[in-house]
């Protein structure tokens, strides 16, 4: 199992922490909850249970990587929910000593109710949510208390592996329900301080030409007002059509028109600035070079994605191949060896509908630069400008502490809501100052009125929710390393550790005269040319049998580096030779 890391704790984006669990695939908010650790053999390591008035939350850590609701890593796991902690109600499933009112069969994606109903229900019908949506060893799960019929006041929860018939914890985890509201304070959707460009990614579900959907889209776009947009599932509309919509919905201040480009299938990028280049050849991903805010100093490499959907071995393989292909494109762009060469510290912004279900490998590749098929796509690399990984930002819904971005309108669907849409950046150059997902169904009437939205807008517009990020300068933007402080950047300096603002290189060998000793006499080429007037290509210019270094250099004129008698800013064997040549002399 490979773990993703992020440079950002959610608290840094979203301000003060809520006591409510945040379903975001980050597990720091579980550290203060009661925890049971397994001391026996079995697939389970740790588990916890907590609640508020609306939700029952579960946490589990597994010994081995699993995909809870996919067949790609088969499991035979169950969650046993005794929703009133009463052995007399429900069934004593597998003789585990719990009165199971609701059984969650993860392997078959079924919820089986034994109390206040019977038969099979979908995970949606019992209000179940899971993070992450892809494989892992840690998961957090939430059940809507009303839909799951969590009776209380006490509950008892156990995990059960049907394959090994191991239950954890033995006898279940007892929990007294918390009736506090722990309200989630809605985030401001105003631009965060330091924002240069607001970006958005949205899978339009093929609805951009539907009038009813357009009305909802218009309200949402006007509420968030992005500068650069990555679209997916827009194969049924043209770039000109979308240009007209955006000019009407989000007119550019001072006039002008949105620029929209489309790839060869269902992806588009729209921007208020110019789009300088686009690359439709990258499979199911559409990189463009776009002019953003002038303070970036360079254009942005902006990519919208719609990776292969769904489970099954062939889909898994294709999704991984697509991730490999994009990272090869990015590596070559950074190295200047591909279709495009991007300047140092160019902000890299990647996002869209990644369809991250099943294995976690594709998202790991997109963040780390660890390419799976190196024979086809070349070597691994570190994709951020500071030599680290890219950052996948844990954006939550603005009015609810869950991260899912897709939801079926069909409650009987076997597929739970999940996080399919992402924002990834080179945080060294493009730092996310704030961000959110717009899901209108959870907004209060007052909030909807404030933002000019309607409760049904998000699902009327698409089955995906728009993902919004406010980008500002990362630490490296505007910073050019200059180790020797000579005014020449390290990227261009032909002597990294020696001051040589003039960059002189008499023999044009790529090494500056200040740090080159072409004839090996212990004097730098610069000293011979500029100070002593000796020949930098001859170790004994006057042919008297004494090398120039011993004959000409008697002491350190710079007095900056003790022992550096050759004035090349390096204490070396050459300095020792000079010293030996001075024995018996006077200074």
DSSP labels for 37-106? E--SSSSEEEEEEEE-SSEEEEEEEEEEEE-TT-SSS---EEEEEETTS-TTSSB-GGG-S--BSEEEET
Q: Does residue 585 have a pLDDT over 60?
A: no
Residue of 18, 38, 44 lying closest to 29 (CA atoms): 18
Compute the average pLDDT of residues 200-212.
Answer: 98
Computed over its alpha carbons, how large is the radius of gyration of the chain? 31
pLDDT at position 8, please? Answer: 37
Mean pLDDT of the chain: 89
Identify whether the C-beta of residue 348 lies closer than 8 Å to the C-beta of residue 430: yes
Helix or strand (DSSP H, E) at 434: strand 430-437
pLDDT at position 581, please? Answer: 56
Strands 467-473 and 391-392: unpaired
13, 286, 433, 450 from 223: Cα distances, Å: 19, 26, 18, 10
Compute the average pLDDT of residues 16-29.
Answer: 76
Residue of 74, 142, 79 lying closest to 111 (CA atoms): 79
pLDDT at position 479, please? Answer: 42
Residue 360 burial (CB count, 10 A):
21
Compute the average pLDDT of residues 330-338.
Answer: 94
Q: How confident is the model at residue 587 (pLDDT cuts 50, 70, 90)?
A: very low
pLDDT at position 563, please? Answer: 64
Q: Between 550 and 569, where is the model more confident?
A: 550
User: What is the CATH code of the structural domain delimited by 19-176?
Assistant: 2.60.40
Q: How far apart are CA 152 and CA 49, in angstroms?
A: 14
pLDDT at position 194, please? Answer: 94
Q: Between 559 and 540, where is the model more confident?
A: 540
Q: How far apart are CA 102 and CA 151, in angstroms?
A: 11
Q: How far apart are CA 42 and CA 38, in angstroms?
A: 8
Residue of 303, 305, 274, 300 lying closest to 289 (CA atoms): 300
Q: Does residue 222 have a pLDDT over 80?
A: yes
pLDDT at position 14, please? Answer: 35
pLDDT at position 17, please? Answer: 35
Q: Does residue 221 have a pLDDT over 90?
A: yes
pLDDT at position 544, please? Answer: 84
Q: How far apart are CA 221 and CA 407, in angstroms?
A: 20
Residue span(s) of the chain under CATH 3.60.10.10 come to: 198-473
Per the CATH hierarchy, to which homologous superfamily does domain 198-473 belong?
Endonuclease/exonuclease/phosphatase (3.60.10.10)
Residue span(s) of the chain under CATH 2.60.40 come to: 19-176
Q: How far apart are CA 569 and CA 575, in angstroms?
A: 10
pLDDT at position 561, please? Answer: 58
State the Cα angle at 45 between 43 and 51, rounded to 5°.
115
Q: Does residue 383 have a pLDDT over 70?
A: yes
Q: Does residue 4 have a pLDDT over 50?
A: no
Compute the average pLDDT of residues 242-255.
Answer: 96
pLDDT at position 9, please? Answer: 35
What digits encode the pLDDT tens for the residues 261-311? 999 999 999 999 999 999 999 999 999 999 999 999 999 999 999 999 998
Q: How confident is the model at residue 527 (pLDDT cuts 50, 70, 90)?
A: confident
Give Cα 201 to chain centroid, integer Å: 14
pLDDT at position 553, please? Answer: 61
- Per DSSP, 178 falls in state P
Q: How confident is the model at residue 11 (pLDDT cuts 50, 70, 90)?
A: very low
Q: Where are the beta strands (DSSP E) in 114-195?
A: 119-121, 128-131, 136-144, 154-161, 166-176
Percent of the chain with pLDDT over 70: 89
Which letter, b or e, does each residue of 384-416 get, where b requires 16 or more Cβ atoms within 10 Å of its Cβ? Answer: bbeebbbbbbbbbbbbbbbbbbbbbeeeeeebb
Q: How confident is the model at residue 582 (pLDDT cuts 50, 70, 90)?
A: low
What digits encode the pLDDT tens for the residues 153-181? 999 999 999 999 999 999 999 999 998 87
Strands 154-161 and 228-232: unpaired
Query: What angle in degrees, to the nearest 10, is found between the helix axes of 361-368 and 313-335?
Result: 0
What dihedral angle (degrees, nearest 10) is formed by the CA atoms of 236, 241, 247, 249? -40
Q: Does residue 559 have a pLDDT over 60?
A: no
pLDDT at position 482, please? Answer: 60
pLDDT at position 469, please? Answer: 97
Query: What angle in degrees, to the nearest 10, is found between the helix axes of 211-224 and 239-249?
Result: 60
Q: Picking from 77-81, 258-262, 533-537, which range would have the lowest pLDDT averaged per residue?
A: 533-537
Q: How far apart are CA 573 and CA 577, in angstroms?
A: 6
Q: Does residue 74 have a pLDDT over 90?
A: no
pLDDT at position 569, please? Answer: 66
Q: How confident is the model at residue 584 (pLDDT cuts 50, 70, 90)?
A: low
Q: How confident is the model at residue 574 (pLDDT cuts 50, 70, 90)?
A: low
Identify whether the C-beta of residue 81 lies closer than 8 Å to the C-beta of residue 103: yes
Q: Does residue 254 have a pLDDT over 60?
A: yes
Maximum Cα–Cα distance across the chain: 109
């Amino acid at each position: 199992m490979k773990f993703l890391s992020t440079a950002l704790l959610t608290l840094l984006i979203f301000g003060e922490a809520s006591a409510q669990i945040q379903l975001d695939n980050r597990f720091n908010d579980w550290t203060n909850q009661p925890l049971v650790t397994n001391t026996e053999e079995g697939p389970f390591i740790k588990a916890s249970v907590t609640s508020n008035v609306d939700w029952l939350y579960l946490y589990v850590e597994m010994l081995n990587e699993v995909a809870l609701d996919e067949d790609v890593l088969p499991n035979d796991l169950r969650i046993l929910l005794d929703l009133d902690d009463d052995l007399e109600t429900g069934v004593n499933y597998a003789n585990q000593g719990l009165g199971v009112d609701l059984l969650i069969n993860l392997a078959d994606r079924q919820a089986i109710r034994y109390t206040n109903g019977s038969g099979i229900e979908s995970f949606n019908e019992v209000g179940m949510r899971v993070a992450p949506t892809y494989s892992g060893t840690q998961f957090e799960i939430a059940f809507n208390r009303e839909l799951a019929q969590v009776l209380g006041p006490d509950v008892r929860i156990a995990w059960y592996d049907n394959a090994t018939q191991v239950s954890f914890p033995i006898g279940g985890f007892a929990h007294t329900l918390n009736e506090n509201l722990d309200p989630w304070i809605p985030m401001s959707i105003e631009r965060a301080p330091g924002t240069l460009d607001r970006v958005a990614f949205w899978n339009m579900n093929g609805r951009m030409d539907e009038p009813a959907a357009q009305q909802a889209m218009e309200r949402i776009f006007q509420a968030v007002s992005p500068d650069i947009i990555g679209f997916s599932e827009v194969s049924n509309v043209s770039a000109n059509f979308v240009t007209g919509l955006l000019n009407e919905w989000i007119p550019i201040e001072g006039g002008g028109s949105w620029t929209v480009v489309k790839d060869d299938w269902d992806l588009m990028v729209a921007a208020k600035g110019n789009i300088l280049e686009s690359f439709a050849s990258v499979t199911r991903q559409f990189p463009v070079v776009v002019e953003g805010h002038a303070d970036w100093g360079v254009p942005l490499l902006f990519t919208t994605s719609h990776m292969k959907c769904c489970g099954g071995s062939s889909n898994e393989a294709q999704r991984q191949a697509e991730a490999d292909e994009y990272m090869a494109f990015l590596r070559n762009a950074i190295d200047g060896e591909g279709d495009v060469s991007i300047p140092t510290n160019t902000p890299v912004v990647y996002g869209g509908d990644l369809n991250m279900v099943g294995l976690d490998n594709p998202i790991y590749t997109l963040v780390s630069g660890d390419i799976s098929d190196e024979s086809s796509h070349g070597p691994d690399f570190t994709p951020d400008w500071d030599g680290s990984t890219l950052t996948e930002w844990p954006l939550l819904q603005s009015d609810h502490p869950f991260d899912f971005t897709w939801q079926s309108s069909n409650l009987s669907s076997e597929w739970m809501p999940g996080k399919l849409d992402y924002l990834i950046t080179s945080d060294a150059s493009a730092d996310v100052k704030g961000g959110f997902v717009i899901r209108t169904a959870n907004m209060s009437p007052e909030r909807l009125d404030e933002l000019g939205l309607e409760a049904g807008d998000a699902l009327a517009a698409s089955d995906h929710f728009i993902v919004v990020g406010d980008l500002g300068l990362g630490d490296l933007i505007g910073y050019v390393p200059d180790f020797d402080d000579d005014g020449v950047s390290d990227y261009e300096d032909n002597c990294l550790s020696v001051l040589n603002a003039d960059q002189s290189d008499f023999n044009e060998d790529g090494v500056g005269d200040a740090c080159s000793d072409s004839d090996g006499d212990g004097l730098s080429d610069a000293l011979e040319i500029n100070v002593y007037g000796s020949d930098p290509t001859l170790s004994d210019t006057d042919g008297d049998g004494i090398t120039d270094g011993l004959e000409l250099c008697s002491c350190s004129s710079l007095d900056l580096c003790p022992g550096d008698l050759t004035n090349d800013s390096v204490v070396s064997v050459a300095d020792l030779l000079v010293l030996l040549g001075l024995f018996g002399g006077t200074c």
